[in-house]
Structure 1
Amino acid sequence: MLTLTSIWTTVLLAAAVALGPLATDMYLPALPQIGSDFGTGTDQVQLTLSLYMAGFAIAQLICGPLADRFGRKPIMIGGMVLFALASVGCAFATNIETLIACRFLQALGGSAGPVLGRAAIRDIYTPREAAKILAILASMMALAPAVAPTIGGFLVAGMGWSSIFIVLALYALLMAGVVAFGIPEPMKAEYRQPLRLCNLVGNYRQIGTDVSFLGYTLTNALIFSGLFAFLSGSSFVLIDFLGVEPQHFGLYFAGIVIGYISGNLTAVRLSRNLVPDQILVRGLLIAVAGGVSMAGLAMAEVYSPWAVIIPQAVFMAGTGMVLPQTMAGALANFPRMAGSASALFGFVQMAVAAMAGALVGHLHDGTSLVMSVIIAGCACASLASYLLFVKRNPAPGFEPQGASA
């Protein structure tokens, strides 16, 4: 069993938390084929993503308080087992309705990893240390979406889209074993919360009325929605509209992951001299530049995979700087209820992202325009949220005395 502050604990937490990104990114190259096999339109296929995110959001409100009562490990292990069973159901689905239902169940189990991974980092580290560790963890996690679409593309080409869900089920069971036998319980016994309805409502009220929490959470949710808008529309834009082969989709997707990792590593390097809010605002400006550039190219009818990938890589570099800071900032005030705070944070993040993904599917016009405009809008809205809320209410230790971010 590893020590809590070991780098290998962070590595194993990243591998466990990566289950969430894998569940979306690995099957992106399969979306057009799923629509073709089931004879459904883009909007119906998009529901397998949007309702997954909705289930992900709802489940976090449940697993967060459960983890504050029983600890992080048992809830994470149970969630991964449920994820594995639902993945098998997805693999054997015979119609789009069954696939959507199993994806929803998959989300209920898969939500335990990210929400409890964030909480575990807050259990172990101080808020400012947590921002740095979350950036490192995010860089490790980015390896999953870097390789997942490529693996998914080859699985689709070689064995069909159902094989993707079998691989996901096996990975979930492996990670359940890793968490059970490799990672100590990070939650202090004295921080355990009673599992009573009045206590849960009181905790959520306290968290949800904290202006600092709301500012960081909304800023995060909006920038994450731009990322999810790309996940929702990229396979249809790149494969159907721009003619990229499914097995090559992952190679293009790797470009945006490189951007994300670059942002994470830049945030770690900047943390030596800057406080998290200063890193945050710089990341937001970079994300806005990438999103607006992509929308401008689409409006000018510059249709090329690189007119999508390069601006999105810039957007993702900014996002890689923003996400760790907003996660740590949102949880900074709640060391005794980090599970519940992480759950509410994740609920808002996923709910807003699900709406953005549904909007992409509903308005998709067969080109890159709709996706690009929504990404740009999310980036601009996230910057506005920072200026209106976060800048005025920074988390403790996130802004230097006598200076603004």
Structure 2
Amino acid sequence: MLALTSVWTTILLAAAVALGPLATDMYLPALPQIGSDFGVGTDKVQLTLSLYLAGFALAQLICGPLSDRFGRKPIMVGGLILFALASIGCAMATSIETLMVCRFLQAVGGSAGPVLGRATIRDIYRPRDAARILAIVASIMALAPAIAPTVGGVLVSGLGWHSIFLVLGAYGLLMALVVAFGIPEPMRPEYRQPLRLCSLMRNYRRIGTDISFVGYTLTNAMVYGGLFAFLSGSSFVLIEFLGVAPEHFGLYFACMVVGYVVGNLAAVRLGRTLMPDQILVRGLVIAVAGGGLMAALALSGLYNVWAVVLPQALFMVGTGLLLPQTMAGALANFPRMAGSASALFGFVQMATAAVAGVLVGYLHDGTSMVMATIIAICACAALASHLLLVQRHPARGFEPQGASAN
């Protein structure tokens, strides 16, 4: 077993958290082909993504409290096994309806990785340290969305979209083995919570009425909604509207990932001298600038690949800066129920992302206009959440530099 604070534990947690991005980003180049194979429109195909997000959101509300009762490891391992089995079901789907059901089950299992990865980091580290570690984890796991669309495009071109889900199933099974035999249980026994409905409702009520939690969670969710608006619409905008080949889609997508990694690395560096909320403000300003620029270019009728990719890359720099801060801020006040807090945080995050994805699918007009507008609106809503809630109720534990021991 690895030490909880070792660099290898951080890397393995990043690999588990990366399950969510892999399950969305790898099959993005396949969306047009899936629609063609099943003879359905854009809205039906994008519903497989939105249902995945909905399942991801709902399942977190269950696996978070379960992990507060039984520990992080058994719930995470069980979820990863379910993810692997559901991925095989996706590969064998013969109708869009079957694919939707299997995607939902895939999300139920896959939710264990991110929600319990966040909770594990909160188990191990103090709030301010958690923000730094989450930024490091995000930098490592950014390898997944960097390579996933390219790998997905190659698999679609060479073996068909079914092969993507077989690869995801193998990854899920591998991660189940790694977590089971490589990472010790991080949760303190005295922090275990009773698994009773009244206790669960009381915990969720306490978490959901904490203004600090609400502020950080809404700020995160709005930005995440903008990110998933891009994920939901990018393959149709870049491949169908702007003529990018599926096997080249991942190369353009990598530009956004580079922006995200730049933001993560900047967050790690700035975390040595600035408070997390100061980093959060910088990220919001950059995200609003990126989303606003993309919307302005679309409104002006400038339609080309770089008018989409470069503003989104700027948006992702801001996202990389602010996401670790909002995650750590939302969990800061709840060391004894980090699983439940992480679950409610993830539920709001994914529910918002699902709504953004559905809107892009149903309002898509064949251009980048709808996607760009929704991204800009989400960025502005995140800024409003910060100004109205976070600034007035910052998280406890985000001490000024020097106020806490190393």
Q: For residues 198-232 of structure 1, give each alpha carbon's deviation from its aligned partner in whole angstroms, at most 9, with x where no partner exists.
A: 11111001101100000000000000000000000
SS of match in other structure, 1:365: coil
Q: CA deviation at 1:234?
A: 0.2
Corresponding residue number in structure 1 for 2:257: 257
Encode CA deviations 1:350-396: one digit per residue, 9 max, x unaligned: 00110000000000000000000000000000000000000000001
Which residue is equivalent to 2:292? Answer: 292
| C-alpha distance after superposition, 1:89-118 (max 9, x if no partner) | 100111111101100000000000000000
- Structure 2 CA distance for aligned equivalents of residues 297 and 183 of structure 1: 47
Give the AA of the match of 1:302: L
The separation in 2 between residues aligned to 1:118 and 1:19, in whole angstroms, is 13
Provide the rounded CA distance (Å) in 1 between the counterparts of 2:397 and 2:206. 21
Tell me, yes or no, if structure 1 residue 344 matches structure 2 residue 344. Answer: yes
Find the aligned partners of 2:34 and 2:399 in 1 and give their Cα distance: 48
- 1:311 counterpart letter in structure 2: P
Query: Secondary structure of the equivalent of 2:265?
Result: helix
Cross-structure match for 1:199: 199
User: Are the counterparts in 2 of residues 73 and 179 from structure 1 also a CA contact under 8 Å?
Assistant: yes
| Distance in 2 separating the partners of 1:314 and 1:398 | 26
In 2, distance between residues paired with 1:372 and 1:125?
Answer: 37
CA distance in 2, matches of 1:198, 1:6: 37
Partner of 2:7: 7
1:395–1:70 distance in 2 versus 1, CA, 3 Å: same
Which residue of the partner structure matches residue 32 of structure 2? 32
Aligned-residue identity in percent: 78
Q: Please state whether the residue corresponding to 1:103 is helix, strand or coil.
A: helix
8 Å CA contact 1:57–1:350 kept in 2: the answer is yes
Match of 2:165 in 1: 165
Residues 84 and 170 of structure 1 are in contact (CA less than 8 Å); yes or no, is this contact kept in structure 2? yes
2: CA distance, partners of 1:305 / 1:72: 43
User: Match of 1:46?
Assistant: 46
> Quick check: 2:121–2:134 contact (8 Å CA) kept in 1?
yes
Match of 2:190 in 1: 190
Residue 84 (structure 2) aligns with: 84
Once the 2 structures are TM-superposed, how far is the Cα of residue 397 of structure 1 from its aligned partner?
3.4
Deviates more, 1:300-309 or 1:116-125: 300-309
CA distance in 2, matches of 1:252, 1:393: 39
Alignment of 1:4-403 (within 5 A): 4-398=4-398, 400=400
Tell me which amino acid in the other structure corresponds to 1:224: Y
TM-score if structure 2 supplies the norm length?
0.98
Please list every run of 5 or more consecutive structure 1 residues that lacks an aligned counterpart in the other structure: none
Amino acid at match of 2:245: E
Output one character per residue of 1:296-323: Cα deviation in whole Å (capped at 9) or x when no partner: 1111111111110000000000000110
CA distance in 1, matches of 2:165, 2:193: 36
Matched letter for residue 18 of structure 2: A
Secondary structure at 1:273 match in 2: coil
Amino acid at match of 1:66: L
Instruction: Report the alpha carbon displacement of residue 31 of structure 1 after superposing the two structures with TM.
Output: 0.1
Shift of 1:398: 2.6
- Counterpart CA distance in 1 for 2:396 and 2:212 is 9
Query: Distance in 1 between the 2:315 and 2:398 partners?
Result: 23
Q: Deviations over 1:226-285 (max 9, x none)?
A: 000000000000000000000000000000000000000001111111000000000000
CA distances 1:49-76 after superposition (whole Å, capped 9, x unpaired):
0010000000000000000000000000
SS of 2:367's partner is coil
CA contact (8 A) 1:278 1:399 kept: no
* Amino acid paired to 2:297: L
Aligned length: 401
Q: Is the 8 A contact 1:82 1:109 kept in 2?
A: yes
CA distance in 2: counterparts of 1:95 and 1:364, whole angstroms = 23
Provide the C-alpha distance between the structure 2 equivalents of 1:241 and 1:35, rounded to a whole number of angstroms.
15
Are 1:277 and 1:399, in contact at CA under 8 Å, matched by a contact in 2? no
User: What amino acid maps onto 1:355 in structure 2?
Assistant: V
Give the residue type in structure 2 aligned to 1:393: H
Spell out, residue by residue over 1:109-146, the C-alpha distance to the aligned partner (whole angstroms, 9 max, x if none): 00000000000000000000000000000000100000
The aligned counterpart of 2:404 is: none
Letter in 2 for 1:170: A
Unaligned regions of 5+ residues in structure 2, if any? Answer: 402-406
1:400 positional shift? 4.6
8 Å CA contact 2:128, 2:399 repeated in 1: no
Could you tell me which amino acid in structure 2 is paired with residue 346 of structure 1?
G
Secondary structure at the aligned position of 2:279 is classed as: helix
Whole-Å Cα distance in 1 between the matches of residues 282 and 398 of structure 2? 14
Normalization by structure 1: what TM-score? 0.98
SS of 1:115 mapped into structure 2:
helix
Q: Which amino acid aligns with 2:313?
A: A
